[in-house]
Amino acid sequence: MFIQIVGVGKLKEKYLVQGIAEYAKRLGPYVKFEMLEVPDEKAPENMSEAEIRQVKEREGERLLALIKSEAHVIALAIDGKLWSSEELAAELDKLATYGTSHVVFVIGGSNGLSDAVLRRAQQKLSFGRMTLPHQLMRLVLVEQIYRAVKINRGEPYHK
């Protein structure tokens, strides 16, 4: 299975880069894993709704350009489904079993994802109603993917 995380913005914090690198290394024996970044759109702090939509659209175009047509896309969105770690594992297992070998998780920027990206997604996943920094979300997500892989293999880690 090939799993990608595609996100907006460059990771700058050393602790996030190191944490993601550690989980990517741990995933190596089990799946092909890749993390891709697109530049975030420079924008002022106080934007109108129209300006926010424009920023999301420009970032969304960059994200969509990296997603292959055959990929199964799971967008991280606050209004998505809440899955437990076991449910994420079951979903990845189901996708692999039924021939979907390429899964892309998409994480938007600080303003979220564009409508075009949400339409492209086959599923929307939420990690809860709390707002988390989109860069921290990458670390949380890659850890959960690793946990899911371990659950599916019946190996210890997820307790």
Q: Is 129 annotated as a binding residue?
A: yes
Do 66 and 102 touch, CB atoms closer than 8 A? no
Give the Cβ contact number of residue 38 at 10 Å: 20
- Would the annotation count 16 as a binding residue? no
Q: What is the 3-state secondary structure (H, E, C) of 94-146?
A: HHHHCCCCEEEEEECECCECCHHHHHHCCEEEECCCCCCCHHHHHHHHHHHHH
Residue 36, marked binder: no
35 is in an annotated binding site: no
Residue 128 is labelled as binding a ligand = yes
137 is in an annotated binding site: no
139 annotated as a binding-site residue: no
Q: Is 47 annotated as a binding residue?
A: no
Decide: helix, strand or coil at residue 75: strand
Rounded CA gap, 96 and 11, in Å? 29
Extract the annotated binding site: 76, 108, 127-132
Extract the annotated binding site for S-adenosyl-L-methionine: 76, 108, 127-132
